[in-house]
Amino acid sequence: MARPRPEPTDPIAELVESLLAELGEDPSRQGLQATPDRVARAIRELTNGYGVKPEEVIADAIFDQDYDEMVVVKDIPFYSLCEHHMLPFFGKVHVGYLPKGKIIGLSKIPRLVEVFSHRLQIQEQLTREIAEAIDTNLAPKGVAVVIEARHLCMEMRGVETPGGHMLTSSMLGTFRRDARTRAEFLDLVRRAPDV
């Protein structure tokens, strides 16, 4: 006989329990007893970017530096949930900027990606938000962000087309105005890493 589950205290867990029952499942059966709490914890973790301000993430990691060549951080892995179906999309983010007297600590760029990807998102918006946060907080000559991702909402439902990748870009400042700068960034992103 299945043991009764303790009363959920998290409102999301309560909703998940109701969802399981609505699907025709028995939330008290052994395999599902802890599922509402697990799902609630997972959803809260996957959306913990709402309470984080980008300027707080990078404020203590902007440094004066007389460096005027392109800085590129590529292949930053990310996972997010699409705001339309709450299904995962995931892939890699490539970020470049042209400093104007200031640089940002290397670890802060992946942290910005995490902040924005841990919200319900669409890829186009995620791309733009990362670029705008760097532009606003660092004030470089330009910022470029390219994201390539797979979307389970397309692979698991709807057209059910596995393996397709979506590419989005946001080019600000010099990257938007100067085709050579944009081309240099895109060439660097396409290159296989030598390390």
HSE-CB for 147 with a 13 A CA cutoff: 27
Does the pLDDT of residue 7 top 70, yes or no? no
pTM confidence score: 0.91
Catalytic residue among 30, 65, 83, 124: 83
Q: What is the CATH number of the domain that holds 170?
A: 3.30.1130.10
Catalytic residue among 82, 118, 121, 129: 82
Look up the domain containing 26 and give its range: 11-46
Q: How far apart, in Å, do the first and last CA atoms of the chain sit?
A: 56
Task: Answer whether residue 6 is part of any domain.
Answer: no
- Would you state the structure tokens that stand for residue 174, as one six-digit string? 């010099």
- Would you state the structure tokens that stand for residue 89, as one six-digit string? 């999309």
Known active-site residue 83: yes
Q: Tens of pLDDT along 86-122?
A: 999 999 999 999 999 999 999 999 999 999 999 999 9
- Would you state the structure tokens that stand for residue 9, as one six-digit string? 């205290």
**Sequence-ordered alpha helix ranges (H) in 32-167:** 35-46, 54-58, 108-117, 123-138, 152-155
Known active-site residue 151: yes
Known active-site residue 123: yes
Known active-site residue 118: no
Task: Answer whether residue 56 is part of any domain.
Answer: no
Residues 82 and 41 in one domain: no
Q: Are 89 and 116 in contact (CB under 8 A)?
A: no
Q: Is 108 helix (H, G, I), strand (E, B) or coil?
A: helix
pLDDT at site 9: 78
Q: Tens of pLDDT along 15-40?
A: 999 999 999 999 999 999 999 999 99
Catalytic residue among 33, 125, 148, 153: 153
Catalytic residue among 14, 25, 33, 85: 85
Residues 108, 62: Cα–Cα separation, whole Å? 9
The DSSP H or E segment spanning 19 is helix 11-22
Residues 154 and 96 in one domain: yes
Known active-site residue 114: no
Q: What is the DSSP letter of 192?
A: P
Number of domains in the chain: 2
